[in-house]
Amino acid sequence: MKEDLSLAVAHVSVSFGGVRALDDASLGLRAGRITGLVGPNGAGKSSLFNVLAGTLRPQRGAVTLGGRDIARLAVHARAHLGIGRTFQISRELDSLSVLENLLLAAPAQRGETITGLLFSRRSVRRAEERAIERALSLLARVRLTHLADEPAGVLSGGQKKLLELCRALMLEPSILLLDEPAAGVNPALIDELSAFILELRDEGMTFGIVEHNMEMMAALCDHVYVLAEGRVLTQGTFDAVTTDARVQEAYLGAAA
């Protein structure tokens, strides 16, 4: 791991057509921790998440990675720095096999570039073998090995979420942003998904999670931010924020 992998936004503001989605919002993902982001619809969760991921540039405020300003870096540049993400709606290629979906997400191989043609076939083959080995290792961890050669389209909603998480892990990120990982997933697979996320956290990975499933957030999160009207209402442990009268009355019920 790099020396400091904390990802943060400070005093960020974002407006859309005169409507302020984020209003002087600040948030930090602690290295090696799982940080949750909750709040009612329209609170600004998606906007703040997209600012962290790089798909949305704020009009004001800073975005930093280990103290380095990355506000102007595109998504692919942030990926090179170790920031990965998943999406609320899985983006697998249904007609390709589960294994092929993972191999497409692997870092560019030498054989896929012009300069790669100058390298020996043996070197290219080794790189491909390493990618296959990593993909199969990830599938084994989420118990999808038996479906490696099946079309991704046959997977259940929960299995597709596990596949998307594995796709993000193919790039070996240090920070992973999860956008509603429990959406469309049955309770049994939510437990499996949560266990995998906790394993990765224990191995040193940093997470930011936007999720409406409060039971999952309670089980996963080391720290939680509650957003309201584009601002951070409060932050702390899950138990601490859920006992805040303002959160109980105005937000958690709406967000659950």
pTM for this one?
Answer: 0.86
Domains, the chain, ranges and CATH? Answer: 7-92+172-255 (3.40.50.300), 93-154 (no CATH)
Angle of helix 187-202 relative to helix 157-169, nearest 10 degrees, comes to 20
Phi, psi of 189 (to 5 degrees): -75, -25
Between residues 105 and 133, which one has the greater pLDDT?
133
Between residues 121 and 225, which one has the greater pLDDT?
225
**CA distances (Å), origin 86, targets 32, 36, 99, 115, 151:** 18, 15, 18, 31, 20
pLDDT at 112 (0 to 100): 52
What mean pLDDT, rounded, does the chain reach?
A: 87
pLDDT exceeds cutoff 80 at 253: no
Residue type, 163: L
